[in-house]
Amino acid sequence: MMHFFLQGLQHPLLYPAHLIALIGLGLLLGQQGMRQMRSGWLVFLLLALLGLELTQLGVADWRNEVLLLILAGIAGALLALRLGLPPWLCALLAGFGALLVGLDSAPAMIPGMKAMKIQAMLAGTLVGASGVLVLLALTGYLLRNLLDGIVLRVIGSWVLASAMMVLTFMLVKP
Partner 1 sequence: MGLQQMARVLLLLALTTGTALAHSDAASLSGGFMSGFTHPLFGWDHVAAMVAVGLWGAFLGRPAIWLLPVVFPVVMAFGGMLGVVGVPLPGVETGIAASALVLGLMVVLAVRPPLWVAAALVGAFAIFHGHAHGAELPAAANPLVYSIGFVVATGLLHLSGIAFGELSRWQWGNTAVRAGGAVIALAGVGFLAGLL
Which residues contact partner 1 by CB under 8 A? 14, 16, 20, 80, 148-150, 153-158, 160-162, 164-166, 168-170, 172-173
Minimal distance in Å, beta carbon 59 to partner 1?
25
Minimal distance in Å, beta carbon 17 to partner 1?
8
Cβ-based nearer residue to partner 1, 3 or 114: 3
- Residue 14 Cα to chain centre, angstroms: 12
Cβ-based nearer residue to partner 1, 47 or 71: 71
Residues in the chain: 174
Cβ-based nearer residue to partner 1, 42 or 77: 77
CB contact set of 103 (below 8 Å; sequence gap of 6+)? 51, 54, 55, 59, 61, 62, 64
Minimal distance in Å, beta carbon 53 to partner 1?
25
